[in-house]
Structure 1
Amino acid sequence: MTDNISSLSITATISSGPDSIELLNSECFCLSLDTKALKQALESEIGQPGLFDLIQQRCPYLFATRPVFVSQANMARMEQVVHAIELVVALPAYRKEILGDSTHIASHNPGGAKGVFFGYDFHVTEGGFGLIEINTNAGGAMLNAVLARAHRACCPAIEKIVSAQNKSNVLEDEIVAMFRQEWSLSGHERALRSIAIVDENPTQQYLYPELLLFQQLFQRHGLGVVIADPCEFTLHKGVLKHGNMNIDLVYNRLTDFTLSEPASATLREAYLQNIIVLTPNPQSHALFADKRNLVLLSDPIRLQALGVPKATQDILLAAIPHTEIVLSENAERLWRKRRGLFFKPFAGFGGRAAYRGDKLTKRVWKEILTGGYIAQALVVPGSRVVSDHEPAQVLKFDLRNYTYDDKVQWVAARLYQGQTTNFRTLGGGFAPVYEGPIDPGEIICSTSSESDNEFFHIAGHSNIGCHEAVVQHETRLFLIEENTVKSLKHDSYLELVRGKSTAPEFAGRRFMLVDWYLRLACGQPEIVVNETCSWLVFDAEGRLDFNAAHEIDAETAPTETHCTQLKELVFGAIAVSNSK
């Protein structure tokens, strides 16, 4: 059975047009994530030593194993929607209506700054299309620049598409230029000197590795950079300071969009006194990202009243699913129609979740009725098959357009399982997006199983008696301390990473974490497909100490003795003995 699996291949003849995109997303496995290239990019090219290990510890499902293909028509349509919304937001009547209902700080003139890293999120299939939401502090741009360097194609036709569209170096230059543009648009004649990257308790943020990438990028371009919590700043003689550093510009990653929390008080004062350039800022959030704006943007009567041109109305009404605020007056109707709706809080933070209507319980519905939710017509997300084995692993995806000043800078996908994107799905996470196929001729996409890249195979462990090739995968984790190897339950590891549990028995100790991605046959481990290693450090109370692990300057690779113990734990002593 093992030999049959190793020789599996699929040959798909892919022609241009909508059907070809669906075929690429369901049958093309030519592109895959190269973990060695990813580590090289993170630690040598644009990152810093230890960053790969930090990501493995903090966010193991950050990068998807496969890319996503999107037709040129849908790429162009997403860009068209971005332009249409920018046009509406520029209308004085729209700004007056939105800012009139917003908090006072939203009306403060940001001094010319446009706001960096808007994220327009779409659900796109060849049979459906919808703008789901807009964010004004969209994360992931730098991570996607890294990811673009780490996907590899195994056939010339797909490699041609990838090479033509890989513009990660250009994106990095555009990012720096964007921040300098924000500075100059705010009326400053001298050059930008310093940037503070601000988030609440930044070292504990899920995307903290990306903040480190931004820090490295800005420093390479001669800027002073600090990553800080909002409470770490002071005002002195009209200057915002972090320690002894004078801060020119604040890259705002906070979800405190109105700077109303006590920890944001100094930033709020500096912003209102025009001491700093804050980007993105409260006004851009109010105008673009408040989900109640989707109610207006999907209402033909209100668009007409605002003086939106007919052509722009047509673009918006065809692309934005009908949205309304959940109120007691429409509650009964929305409950009846819930299976075709998606419910979201106005502000997507603070522990309030989004729900598909067909998954709603009456308990959750009561919570929604307390206020603060919109109901949006359901738009089915795209799907991507990420494994060519049976049963196939199929993930959902959305498409994020990173934009600045009405220009789309980058398009990335997020692969996931569940109701919403979550970065907790094996094989899921951020994924590159490729327009394809470009050539109207045919592309021959020959794909093979991952056996060509397998780490090693235990000889003789062929699951005798299994008559069907039922192939699945799983991840197993192990802790290595000196000469001891022990298993670590995956759920327990996630609880530790998320700070929801401690391991007092590991207090004050450090371990090498070994992550094996295994191919199963008939439910039994057959082959180690991939191995990643990183450091885990526990503090005196048994909590994970990510900073201490990040600072370890030592190789993370199991010894030959460790490998033997690992194989015995996974495959059993007899199988290992037979393989020698």
Structure 2
Amino acid sequence: MKNIKGEFIQQLRASFPQLENEPLEELVSDQLVSPFHVELPSSVLTQAQNFIEKIFAIRELPAYQKLYSDALAEKGIRDPGNKSIMMSYDFHTDENQNLKLIEINTNAAFLALGTEMYKAHKIPLPVSDFSFAEVKAEIETELRLNGRVPSQPLKVAITDEDPASQRLYVEFLVYRELFKSWGWVCTIEDYRELFKNSSPDFIYNRHTDFFLSDPTSAVLKEKFLNREVCLSPNPYEYLMLADKNRMVEWSQPGFFEALGVDSNSADFLRSIVPRSLDVKSDNVEELWAQRKKLFFKPKNAYGSKQSYRGENISRKAFDGLKHEETLAQEYVPAPEREFVTPEGPQKFKFDLRCYAYQGRLQLVLARLYQGQVTNLRAPYGGFACVTFV
């Protein structure tokens, strides 16, 4: 079996020669990139494109945005004008190869690394006309939407909590070199240190304090609200699309129609959004009875933290859910593929990560894993290319 990690690192160094002295062998984990790829019918790609286009068109409706005026006021968030770069829509496929939405991420990882992964595998990109030039254009669009004129050289900061300790710090390095190749000034900074030594025009935000509600985010939140900096992704877009409360609403009969969405589009969207419910004191017994058909996840966590498959949850753990902000979702099992490894045939589950800006699908990756949740720890698993036939 070919050394995909070595080929991937070689590809990164070929695309970004400035990384030559970075310890990429240490920064790229052995299970980050899979040697396998997933083949799916082209109808899956079409569904993803249509869903992203339609749901973003709904997000743009004034009537839709007005629905959340109270929630925005409660969280002290205002519309900054700009959207969010490098978002993802994560899906499973059912037995009929129909998409089922798992969640939406406003700070999804691996768009840049995924693009390079396709090059390392010598597999064409699923969206053939996507390139990094599009990322440059969308950042400039973000600045204009935020009411700013892109300056030259543009000052950009990539931020997270203690970035160098993050599992995908290597992607921050790739973005830094990509931005520098466009003549921009770019730094990688802890979100708490952002404005101490510089004043960035644009911040590519990978921090998971989605609403900037932690006291340590106070300075960043103030700068964001005052439009002193263009922050992308940002809390407003998170509330509009990625907050798990949206899936509760989207799955309700009549929600889309009340916004003027035609019945065919509404039916299509609901076919992809699984039935989703709040876990509350007045429905816990009903949900307990239905638990084997449900999946439970916290509304404000990420990365499959504290998530439970209903058939495996204990009554004690379940009873604790009603005191938390918890979502009960129709259980859609992850699809599986069998691949031949050096140890013999093995089955891997997978999900699909579909990256987008506004209503435009840009890249599709699979994440291969074994066990209950994606964890990038299974040998021969990890991020994988997808081909559509």
> TM-score range with shorter-chain normalisation?
over 0.9
Amino acid at match of 1:119: S
Tell me the residue number matched to 1:174.
134
For the pair 1:335 / 2:296, whether they are aligned, the reply is no
Tell me the residue number matched to 2:27.
55
Q: Select which of 187, 193, 201 maps to 1:226.
A: 187
Identity of aligned residues (%): 33
Tell me the residue number matched to 2:268.
315
Deviation at residue 206 of structure 1 after TM alignment: 1.3
- Give the Cα–Cα distance (whole angstroms) in 1 for the partners of residues 187 and 51 of structure 2: 35
Structure 1 counterpart SS, 2:364: strand
- Give the Cα–Cα distance (whole angstroms) in 1 for the partners of residues 275 and 372 of structure 2: 19
Q: Structure 1 60/356 Cα, relative in aligned 2: closer, same or farther at 3 Å?
A: same
Deviation at residue 380 of structure 1 after TM alignment: 1.9
Q: Structure 1 68/352 Cα, relative in aligned 2: closer, same or farther at 3 Å?
A: closer
For the pair 1:137 / 2:107, whether they are aligned, the reply is yes
* Contact persistence 1:196–1:227 (CA under 8 A): yes
Amino acid at match of 1:266: V
Structure 2 counterpart SS, 1:37: helix
- Give the Cα–Cα distance (whole angstroms) in 2 for the partners of residues 103 and 352 of structure 1: 28
Q: Structure 1 165/96 Cα, relative in aligned 2: closer, same or farther at 3 Å?
A: closer
* Contact persistence 2:34–2:368 (CA under 8 A): yes
Q: Larger RCO: Structure 1 or Structure 2 (Cα < 8 Å, ≥ 6 residues apart)? A: 2
Deviations 1:304-343 (A, max 9, x none): 3333321221111111111110111111111111111111
Structure 1 counterpart SS, 2:288: helix
Q: Select which of 156, 167, 174 maps to 1:213.
A: 174
- Give the Cα–Cα distance (whole angstroms) in 1 for the partners of residues 211 and 124 of structure 2: 42
Tell me the residue number matched to 1:121.
90
Deviation at residue 352 of structure 1 after TM alignment: 4.5
Amino acid at match of 2:306: A
How many residue pairs were aligned?
Answer: 385
For the pair 1:183 / 2:143, whether they are aligned, the reply is yes
Q: Select which of 18, 38, 41 maps to 2:8.
A: 38
Tell me the residue number matched to 2:232.
279
Structure 2 counterpart SS, 1:64: strand
Deviation at residue 351 of structure 1 after TM alignment: 9.1
Matches of residues 509-520 of structure 1 in structure 2 within 5 Å?
none
Gapped runs of 5+ residues in structure 2?
none
Deviations 1:272-328 (A, max 9, x none): 111110111111000000011101111113333333321221111111111110111
Amino acid at match of 1:117: M
- Give the Cα–Cα distance (whole angstroms) in 2 for the partners of residues 269 and 389 of structure 1: 54
Structure 1 counterpart SS, 2:88: strand
Structure 1 counterpart SS, 2:204: strand
Amino acid at match of 1:416: Y
* Contact persistence 1:99–1:106 (CA under 8 A): no
Gapped runs of 5+ residues in structure 1?
1-28, 153-161, 235-241, 437-580
Q: Select which of 295, 299, 313 maps to 2:248.
A: 295
- Give the Cα–Cα distance (whole angstroms) in 1 for the partners of residues 304 and 89 of structure 2: 22
Higher mean alpha-carbon deviation, 262-271 vs 316-325, is at 262-271
Q: Structure 1 65/166 Cα, relative in aligned 2: closer, same or farther at 3 Å?
A: farther
Deviations 1:319-373 (A, max 9, x none): 1111110111111111111111111111124994111112212232123221211
Tell me the residue number matched to 2:155.
194
- Give the Cα–Cα distance (whole angstroms) in 2 for the partners of residues 332 and 33 of structure 1: 51
Matches of residues 274-423 of structure 1 in structure 2 within 5 Å?
274-349=227-302, 352-387=305-340, 392-423=345-376
For the pair 1:433 / 2:382, whether they are aligned, the reply is no
Structure 1 counterpart SS, 2:69: helix
Structure 1 counterpart SS, 2:11: helix
- Give the Cα–Cα distance (whole angstroms) in 1 for the partners of residues 126 and 208 of structure 2: 33
- Give the Cα–Cα distance (whole angstroms) in 1 for the partners of residues 69 and 33 of structure 2: 38
- Give the Cα–Cα distance (whole angstroms) in 1 for the partners of residues 23 and 14 of structure 2: 10
Structure 1 counterpart SS, 2:131: helix
Tell me the residue number matched to 1:469.
none
- Give the Cα–Cα distance (whole angstroms) in 2 for the partners of residues 33 and 400 of structure 1: 24
Tell me the residue number matched to 1:555.
none
Q: Structure 1 341/143 Cα, relative in aligned 2: closer, same or farther at 3 Å?
A: same
Deviation at residue 178 of structure 1 after TM alignment: 1.6
Amino acid at match of 1:373: T
* Contact persistence 1:413–1:432 (CA under 8 A): yes
Amino acid at match of 1:52: L
* Contact persistence 2:299–2:327 (CA under 8 A): yes
* Contact persistence 2:160–2:191 (CA under 8 A): yes
Tell me the residue number matched to 1:147.
117
Could you say what the CA RMSD is over the residues aligned between the two structures, in angstroms?
2.3
Structure 2 counterpart SS, 1:329: coil
Amino acid at match of 1:369: K
- Give the Cα–Cα distance (whole angstroms) in 2 for the partners of residues 93 and 254 of structure 1: 29
Higher mean alpha-carbon deviation, 390-399 vs 368-377, is at 390-399
For the pair 1:268 / 2:224, whether they are aligned, the reply is no
- Give the Cα–Cα distance (whole angstroms) in 2 for the partners of residues 415 and 35 of structure 1: 15
Deviations 1:472-529 (A, max 9, x none): xxxxxxxxxxxxxxxxxxxxxxxxxxxxxxxxxxxxxxxxxxxxxxxxxxxxxxxxxx
* Contact persistence 2:336–2:349 (CA under 8 A): yes
Amino acid at match of 2:192: C
Q: Structure 1 398/165 Cα, relative in aligned 2: closer, same or farther at 3 Å?
A: closer
Q: Highest Rg: 1 or 2?
A: 1
Structure 1 counterpart SS, 2:68: helix
* Contact persistence 1:416–1:425 (CA under 8 A): yes
- Give the Cα–Cα distance (whole angstroms) in 2 for the partners of residues 167 and 305 of structure 1: 36
- Give the Cα–Cα distance (whole angstroms) in 2 for the partners of residues 165 and 104 of structure 1: 41
- Give the Cα–Cα distance (whole angstroms) in 2 for the partners of residues 315 and 166 of structure 1: 22
* Contact persistence 1:300–1:313 (CA under 8 A): no
- Give the Cα–Cα distance (whole angstroms) in 2 for the partners of residues 166 and 150 of structure 1: 17
* Contact persistence 1:381–1:396 (CA under 8 A): yes
